[in-house]
Structure 1
């Protein structure tokens, strides 16, 4: 089977989607590794070395308990995004204006570190996922309040735009049967890394007071850059959908649904921020 890949840092581990191999599986073409047969049994007795608990059922594929399903992914994603939205709403309502910028910077750094930590872990802790969602919620609440203070009504428009873009991407992926090829993955990965590099350089320059790439650019270039960001976020959503679909087909453990929810949350946050940026340029 083709190796699964994703540009999403959470879903890019080579050993993501762990299959539970601790339970015996007997099916067609599988061998029973029990004790050898020791002669003919007496009438009414089980064969020597076999018991009801370990007797294989030949010809019927075995079932592994606790496999990830699409319902698991939807439920965990709803929980994770629900925590994020709730915390973001509280932050938006009650965060003092004077603390917007420092909270914005601190939570951005912490949430980025948390995402990298999850990407490095073999198993995802559900509690840690929800803690990350809360931290990311503070970040989203702070950045949303900053944009709303400059452009009234931009936050509801950005939320609506994010939901519409995500829904349209999922519909296109399912109904048009979009095939994710290795070439497509590589192109999206290169574009994502390049775009992230530009944003990182701009952030460092801004923090040290050297300059701001976006502040000195004309509106046409800003719209182009933001449109590229939205497009890359949408392409990453497609990769995430494909990656999750492959994980379900491979029989990943049900606990991996938290990793899927985490990865989708990271991409949705990125898409929302790009929507905010794009709408702000139109408002100018």
Structure 2
């Protein structure tokens, strides 16, 4: 089960290099001992059933994802209150604005670094996933406060974006299950290439901004709107890949530890959808 998704590509279990499942694949001969040799008789305990509790299940994925998202939300809430009121009746508060941009930069770069580590790490580390969630929450807390201020809109769009993100998650999951969406290698390659392409464009825009030249990907004009729409659609495609990997991983009997990798992938996709949806709402509601 070869994966082109960088989040899952380093997992031996997801790529068929590990011994995640003791069951032979369909059409293959089993290497299990035959009953004809008394020396191979067991103690009467079904080892497959005994090992079942250590495998990834839908419940374990849901639990780990809930924990990761809870950390993101808690960290974002702390950041939101720590930065205070950036805009008051007397104007912008320099101290609060400085805190916002500090939190945004530290959280963004820290979360990006840990996302690369988690994506290419062979053995997933729950501690690193939680650390990523903390830094991602710091970035989101600052981002969620900055966007309404820059776009000059009400902060109520933050709640709208949160509701829209979970609606997109539920809708994508329903479509994946009810329409029996099949993920092909071409689709995986396209989504991963598009994801890295958008990251590259975002980095280019950031570098150009240092020299006073911008294309407009992060602005609130037409170019920014198109970029955000493309990011939102890509986020939905990323969710489809996540659902496919979770479904295949459970079927293959992956170790329970891999639930953290699935939770990390789902969190990345949801954050991607949220940030683009928040920008779209700001664009639509700005003057």
* TM-score bucket (shorter structure): 0.7 to 0.9
Q: TM-score, normalised by structure 2?
A: 0.82
1:17 is aligned, of 14, 18, 22, to 14
Secondary structure of 1:231's counterpart equals helix
**CA distance in structure 2 between the partners assigned to 1:248 and 1:213 by the alignment:** 43
**CA distance in structure 1 between the partners assigned to 2:103 and 2:76 by the alignment:** 12
The alignment of Structure 1 onto Structure 2 pairs a total of residues equal to 265
2:65 is aligned, of 73, 77, 87, to 77
**CA distance in structure 1 between the partners assigned to 2:166 and 2:48 by the alignment:** 40
The RMSD of aligned alpha carbons is 3.0
- Cα 1:50–1:173 change in 2 (3 A) is closer
**CA distance in structure 2 between the partners assigned to 1:83 and 1:217 by the alignment:** 29
The CA deviation at 1:5 is: 3.0
Secondary structure of 1:239's counterpart equals helix
Q: TM-score, normalised by structure 1?
A: 0.83
1:190 paired to 2:193: yes
Give CA deviations for 1:95-149 in whole Å, capped at 9, x if unaligned.
Answer: 2422111221121111100011112222122222212111111111011111233
- Cα 1:216–1:10 change in 2 (3 A) is closer
Higher relative contact order (CA closer than 8 Å, sequence separation 6+): 1
- Give the equivalent residue in structure 2 for 1:169: 172
**CA distance in structure 2 between the partners assigned to 1:227 and 1:199 by the alignment:** 14
Give CA deviations for 1:42-68 in whole Å, capped at 9, x if unaligned.
Answer: xxxxx5x46653x797xxx94433110
- Give the equivalent residue in structure 1 for 2:143: 143
- Give the equivalent residue in structure 2 for 1:41: none
Aligned 8 A contact 1:32 1:56 in 2: no
- Give the equivalent residue in structure 2 for 1:93: 81
Greater C-alpha Rg: 1
**CA distance in structure 2 between the partners assigned to 1:174 and 1:240 by the alignment:** 13
Give CA deviations for 1:173-220 in whole Å, capped at 9, x if unaligned.
Answer: 1111111112222222232222221111001112x2332221797833
Unaligned runs of 5+ in 1: 38-46
Aligned 8 A contact 1:147 1:155 in 2: no
**CA distance in structure 2 between the partners assigned to 1:218 and 1:170 by the alignment:** 30
- Give the equivalent residue in structure 1 for 2:90: none
Secondary structure of 1:254's counterpart equals coil
- Cα 1:75–1:270 change in 2 (3 A) is same
- Give the equivalent residue in structure 1 for 2:2: 3
- Give the equivalent residue in structure 1 for 2:246: 244
- Give the equivalent residue in structure 1 for 2:91: none
1:155 paired to 2:152: no
Whichever structure has more helix as a proportion of its residues is: 2
